């Protein structure tokens, strides 16, 4: 009896083990079954070609601008999915232009409620024959239903900037003693509802970074959003409400910049593009930016283009109150000794490090 009971227990144990072994396989079968069911129920979307129209512009598959983009096949899509396509756009007109993207003639018409097209164009102005690489991204809503095929037109056209804005970058020590670059927008143009938001594009060498950011004056006194995209630093912010300030010497942000380059290496930054939003209408406008390129050299306190004992002396005199901040490039000095993740301050340690570097007591900074 004991032998038979043990045999039955072993058999039951083997049966449980087999059932457990089947569970992963069953889970995979259920997932695959759901995917097949989803496709069979029309959740799979096959598109017809999206035609591409361009006005005074050329759209190409290659940087040499030899293969024209007449249409784009987005292939198979699913709810919640997205697809990206890279194209090159050349300004083939006779005047400088910014770019605008729109879509028309959606078939069926309700498709535009569930599918959207965007791009990563940064607002860069294209001179005649200039070429820019952009990524087009088609996104499908999770809520789309009963649309198996669709088509639409992609329209890329030049737009004339509506605003002239002077963008100034001013270096100063902020209330906490960190060196910060004040971003000031100045324009004679008037937005009906005032400035409701902005996106500023700064062309910067890779060794220049934003350690941290602070807001400017009210209502832009909250820290802006900072993104790094290739050779650009993108600064953006917006306010709530239907009334904002005009761009008349308006300080919108304070960036605590840092130079990571080696001693003697040149770094640059320049405002290159600006989009502004009218607070009342929520209309976004592309501005013509007027700004100078700023040049920096880590350790060059007196701005003469080289590192010498004079730089250490200028720094010491500034800290003793015998020189004003306008006599120095504060970012060049503060970046010598980097003071942490929040930013950099000008201190006697910066002067000492420059002296040690010149005396051969350190290989660099």
Rounded to the nearest 5 degrees, what angle is found at the Cα of 162, between the Cα atoms of 103 and 90? 50
Least confident of 102-106, 131-135, 298-302: 102-106
Query: Average pLDDT for residues 10-23, to the nearest whole number?
Result: 42
Instruction: State the average pLDDT over residues 87-116.
Output: 86
Higher pLDDT, 123 or 259: 259
pLDDT recorded at residue 37? 33
| From 161-175, 214-228, 302-316, the region with the lowest mean pLDDT | 161-175
Name the band, by pLDDT with cuts 50, 70 and 90, for residue 336.
very high
Residue 12 has pLDDT above 90, yes or no: no
pLDDT of residue 48: 60
Closest CA to 117 of 79, 149, 74: 74
Confidence of residue 49 (pLDDT cuts 50, 70, 90): low
Q: In this model, does residue 9 exceed pLDDT 70?
A: no
| Phi, psi for residue 266 in degrees, rounded to 5 | -90, 135
Contact 345, 334 (CB under 8 A): yes
Inter-CA distances, 198 with 253, 313, 318, Å? 11, 41, 35
| pLDDT at residue number 21 | 38
pLDDT value of position 236: 97
Mean pLDDT for 171-178 is 94
Tell me: domain 45-159, CATH 2.60.370, correct? yes
- pLDDT at residue 28 tops 70: no
Q: What is the pTM of this model?
A: 0.61
Lowest mean pLDDT segment, chosen from 152-161, 260-269, 282-291, 335-344: 152-161
Identify the H or E element spanning 331. helix 330-334
* pLDDT tens track for 52-71: 777 679 999 999 999 999 98
Mean pLDDT of the region 340-352: 96
- pLDDT band of residue 43 (cuts 50, 70, 90) is low
**Mean pLDDT in the chain?**
85
pLDDT of residue 41: 41
Share of the chain above pLDDT 90, in %: 55
pLDDT of res. 125: 80
199-222 mean pLDDT: 95
Q: Please report which helix (H) or strand (E) contains residue 95, including its range.
A: none
pLDDT at 40: 37
Tell which CATH architecture fits domain 163-295. Answer: Sandwich (2.60)
| pLDDT for the residue 47 | 58
- For residue 43, report the phi and psi dihedrals to the nearest 5 degrees: -75, -15
Nearest Cα to Cα of residue 60 among 9, 136, 116, 124: 136
The winner for highest mean pLDDT among 7-16, 55-64, 312-321 is 312-321
Candidate from 79-88, 116-125, 190-199 with smallest mean pLDDT: 116-125
Q: Where are the domains of the chain?
A: 45-159, 163-295, 309-358
pLDDT average, residue stretch 240-254:
96
């Amino acid at each position: 009896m004991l032998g038979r009971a043990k045999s039955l227990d072993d058999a039951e144990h083997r049966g449980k083990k087999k059932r457990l072994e089947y569970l992963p396989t069953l889970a995979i079968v259920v997932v695959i079954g759901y995917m097949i069911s989803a496709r069979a129920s029309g959740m799979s979307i096959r598109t017809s070609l999206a035609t591409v129209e361009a006005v005074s512009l050329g759209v190409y598959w290659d940087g040499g601008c030899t293969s024209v983009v007449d249409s784009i096949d987005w292939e198979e899509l699913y709810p919640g999915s997205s697809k990206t396509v890279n194209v090159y756009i050349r300004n083939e007109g006779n005047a400088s232009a910014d770019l605008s993207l729109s879509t028309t003639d959606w078939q069926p018409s309700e498709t535009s409620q569930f599918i959207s097209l965007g791009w990563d164009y940064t607002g860069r102005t294209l001179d005649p024959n200039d070429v820019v690489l952009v990524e087009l991204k088609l996104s499908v809503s999770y809520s789309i239903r009963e649309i198996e095929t669709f088509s639409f037109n992609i329209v890329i056209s030049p737009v004339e900037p509506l605003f002239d804005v002077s963008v100034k970058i001013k270096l100063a020590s902020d209330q906490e003693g960190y060196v910060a670059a004040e971003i000031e927008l100045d324009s004679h143009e008037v937005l009906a509802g005032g400035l409701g938001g902005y996106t500023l594009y700064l062309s910067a060498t890779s060794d220049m970074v934003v350690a941290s950011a602070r807001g400017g004056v009210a209502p832009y006194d909250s820290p802006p959003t900072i993104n790094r995209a290739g050779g650009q630093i993108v600064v953006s912010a917006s306010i709530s409400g239907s009334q904002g300030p005009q761009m008349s010497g308006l300080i919108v942000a304070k960036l605590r910049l840092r130079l990571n380059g080696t001693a003697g290496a040149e770094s640059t930054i320049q405002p290159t593009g600006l989009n502004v939003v009218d607070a009342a209408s929520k209309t976004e406008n592309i501005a013509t930016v007027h700004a100078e390129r700023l040049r920096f050299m880590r350790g060059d306190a007196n701005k003469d283009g080289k590192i010498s004992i004079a730089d250490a002396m200028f720094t010491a005199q500034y800290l003793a109150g015998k020189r004003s901040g306008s006599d120095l490039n504060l970012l060049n000095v503060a970046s010598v000794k980097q003071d942490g993740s929040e930013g950099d301050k000008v201190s006697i340690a910066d002067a000492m490090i420059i002296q040690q570097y010149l005396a051969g007591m350190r290989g660099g900074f």
